[in-house]
Structure 1
Amino acid sequence: MLPPVIAGVDGSSESLAAAEWAAREALRRDRPLRLVHAWNWHPRQQDGEIATAAQRHLAQRSLRQAEDRIRRTCPAVKLDQEQVEGPATAALLKAAEQADLLVLGSRGLSGFTGFLVGSVALDVVAGAGRPVVLVRSGEEAADEHLPDDDGAESTRTGYRDVVLGIDLADPCDEVIEFAFEEARLRRSRLKAVHAWQQPSPIGLGAGDIGLVKRPDRAEEWLGFLSAVLQVWREKYPEVEVVETVTEGRAASVLVRAASGAGLLVVGRRRTERPTVPRTGPVAHAAIHHVGCPVAVVPHD
């Protein structure tokens, strides 16, 4: 059986939007969809059975809300659901091990809601071995598509760009391939973005791109980007690729580039110390400041 797309749900508007986005993604990937609700309870004296029953009732209600929404909007998707008891981070990380993709709801600058309170969501993103997509509240099918000729929202138009943030100092196949595949599935354009900063002359080595004039440096970076992506262009000839290099901090450049996009794809290096999960500054900025769904792809 193919690994499913998994969506974490908790009854919040963010998780419902994430579940619906996950259903559309499951259809694009021709995968089943699994809804997972994680809950954790610590027994106290005599109220254990009552509290457990209440938690199970809330879990069932959350799963039913998500399922009802998906049945209305994506009736063709193959769907099942699961309740998981235990610490939220551990439960979601375990679910990710079985997933083709894990999808969670996000509130951006306000943090995360439901079982994604505080550091849990960041811990999941930082520790998952599979790609994780974060989806904002209010995300709808039309938001993935370009407006129609009259400027109105539509699901009959083409998809918005998939934006790939790429670090040319360490280009990672897993991240690049994920972005190309997402663009292929959508028949959308892929916009590959690299941010560069003018180095100090003191720090330049013999093999560095150390041109003094900024236009020349930008041209060098653009040539490097084209060379890195050439093999992927050949593997995905149907994907239109736009290559962009911009001077500035990577986090700021990507936040601007993702404006109007349908999906932003960024990488996250797997930490050598799994007990200290980290998202990295670029992924962290994207999670908190980008309005479209953000895919965080782990790589070695």
Structure 2
Amino acid sequence: MKHHVAVGVDGSPESRAAARWAAQEAVLRHVPLRLVHAVDWPLDPVFPGLGRQDVDRWADRALTETAEELHRLHPLLEITTRRPAAQPAAALAAEATDAGLLVLGSRGLGGLVGFLVGSVAMSALVATDTPTVMVRIADDPDSPQAGPGSEVVVGVDIHEACDRVLAFAFEEAARRNCALRVVHGWKMPAAYTYVPFIDPDDERDIGRSITHMVDDLLLAWRHKFPDVDVSPSVRMGSAGDHLVRASQGAGLVVVGRHLRRSPLGTHLGSVAHAVLHHAAAPVAVVAHE
């Protein structure tokens, strides 16, 4: 099960939505699905009188009910369950080490559209190098409010090595048989901060130059995935803002984050942070150098 899809399950509506999304992704990838529920014992004192057997029974029930539901939806999908005794974030990160994808659930932010990323999900996300997808209830493939998602959207930075991010995005677009929109946001050079008037010709020239750089970046990937319809979107302004706008109606948004080099902090990055908290589609976070 080297390339299976792993999903965190805790019995909540958010985790059930994530499990259904993960099952559909596993079917697309032709790989097994693993349901993971971590039990951290002893529990917080806020649950007095709750014994270990009670917790174990509740965990087993959450896994069993989720597995049975997914079997009904996808009878041919191979599904296994795991119940490690460890802190949830650490257990999910450990389970992701031999998985091709980790999927986690999150509550939506209502009118703000995006995600409410809890401490467990955030800790697991930054503790693993495995691509991780955040899913809201609105992204549930069986939800009446979930849209079909006509494209995959990916954010790129021409100043960063983003092969892992592009590989993930192109592969997702190829297996979904959908278009891929490549988004890059750029800003005028710092020297222009001190110029009282910016020549529009300079702005256009810089924009054209950056567009050519993005096209060059995508050239090898177009050859590798000739059947994927690629649409670059290069605009001046915040990359995070452009990605959030592009997420409307998308099936998946892909962003990168730097590999964790320090035990301190979340190391998520401003663009990934903005997209996670305001995107209107599931968000895949891919670690890269």
TM-score of the aligned structures, taking structure 1 as reference length = 0.85
Q: CA separation in 1, counterparts of 2:162 and 2:36?
A: 30
**Aligned residue type for 1:165:** G
> In structure 1, how many angstroms separate the alpha carbons of the residues matched to 2:155 and 2:266?
21
The one-letter code of the counterpart of 1:291 is A
Q: Is the 8 A contact 2:18 2:140 kept in 1?
A: no
- Check 1:221–1:83 CA distance in 2 against 1; reply closer, same or farther (3 A cut): same
Matched, 1:190 2:180: yes
CA contact (8 A) 1:41 1:86 kept: yes
Relative distance call for 1:237 and 1:40 in structure 2 (3 A) is: same
Report the 3-state secondary structure (helix = DSSP H, G, I; strand = E; otherwise coil) of the residue aligned with 2:104.
strand
Q: Per the alignment, do residues 44 and 59 of structure 1 end up closer, same or farther by CA in structure 2, a change over 3 Å counting?
A: closer
Check the 8 A contact 2:138/2:146 in 1, yes or no.
no
Alignment of 1:26-175 (within 5 A): 26-42=26-42, 51-109=51-109, 111-112=116-117, 118-141=118-141, 160-175=150-165
1:216 shift after superposition: 2.2
- Offset at residue 22 of structure 1 (A): 0.7
Aligned to 1:219: 208
Among residues 251, 265, 284, which one is paired with 1:295 in the alignment?
284
Of stretches 1-10 and 26-35 in structure 1, the one that deviates more from structure 2 is 1-10
Aligned-partner SS, 1:138: helix
Hey, what's the Cα distance between the residues in 2 that align with 1:96 and 1:262? Answer: 23
Query: Deviating runs (4+, > 6 A) in structure 1?
Result: 152-155
**In structure 2, how many angstroms separate the alpha carbons of the residues matched to 1:200 and 1:44?**
50
CA deviations on 1:138-169 (whole Å, 9 max, x unpaired) are: 3233789xxxxxxx9887xxx51000100111
Matched residues in 1 for 2:49 and 2:32: separation? Answer: 34
Query: AA paired with 2:156?
Result: I
Which 10-residue stretch deviates more, 134-143 or 161-170?
134-143
Residue in structure 2 matching 1:248, options 237, 242, 252: 237
Residue number among 204, 217, 228 corresponding to 1:239 in the alignment: 228
Aligned to 1:149: none
Report the CA distance shift for 1:232/1:43 in structure 2 as closer, same or farther (over 3 A): closer
Q: In structure 1, the residue corresponding to 2:172 is in which secondary structure? A: helix
Please say if 1:258 is aligned against 2:247. yes
Q: SS of the counterpart of 1:122?
A: helix
Once the two structures are TM-superposed, the CA of residue 274 in structure 1 deviates from its matched residue by: 3.5
SS of the counterpart of 1:7? strand
TM-score, length-normalised on structure 2?
0.88
Shift in CA distance, 166/48, structure 1 to aligned 2, threshold 3 Å:
same
Q: What RMSD in Å do the two structures reach over aligned CA positions?
A: 2.7
Q: 2:84 is paired with a residue of what secondary structure?
A: strand
Shift of 1:50: 5.7
How far apart, in 2, do the equivalents of 1:105 and 1:28 lie?
A: 19
CA distance in 2, matches of 1:211, 1:173: 33
| Percent of aligned pairs with the same amino acid | 39
Which residue is equivalent to 2:3? 3
Structure 2 unaligned residues grouped into runs of 5+: 110-114
Unaligned runs of 5+ in 1: 113-117, 145-151, 205-209
**Correspondence for 1:271:** 260
1:98-147 Cα offsets, whole Å, 9 max, x none, are 211000001144634xxxxx422111111211000010013233789xxx
Q: Partners in 1 of 2:58 and 2:273 — Cα distance?
A: 31
- CA deviation vs aligned residue, 1:189-211 (integer Å, no higher than 9, x gap): 0000000112232689xxxxx99
State how far apart, in whole Å, the 1-side matches of 2:69 and 2:280 are. 22
